[in-house]
Amino acid sequence: MARITLIKIAEARRLGANGIDYSPRLGAVCPWCGNKTKIVRTMPWEDSTRIRYHLCQTTGCAMAKMGDTIKSIEIDPVDEKKEEAVCRMK
């Protein structure tokens, strides 16, 4: 049982480090507990993507207890549509 929990925690930490999806409407959720996270840092836009860093503040969450930051990636849907239109025009 403890081994399964360690594997799940390792997977949640990997997801948090590599980046999860960010929704402008819903924000980002913790890969461990699934609750909404608090934004602690927002990076500037680079082309059509923006990186944010979050912390889970849910009592009892493993990610919150470890203090791990969670990286999220937002993709601007307007820029994506512009790029698709330009590609179709070529």
* pLDDT 10s digits, 5-21: 889 999 999 999 999 99
- Structure tokens of 76? 């601007």
- Structure tokens of 4? 């399964």
Task: Provide the mean pLDDT of the chain.
Answer: 88
User: Under a CB-based contact definition with an 8 Å cutoff, are residues 40 and 16 in contact?
Assistant: no
**For residue range 24-48, what is the model confidence (pLDDT) as tens digits?**
898 999 999 999 999 999 999 998 9
Using only C-alpha atoms, the chain has a radius of gyration, in whole angstroms, of 16
Measured on CA atoms in the order 65, 54, 14, 21, is the torsion positive or negative?
positive
pLDDT at 89: 61
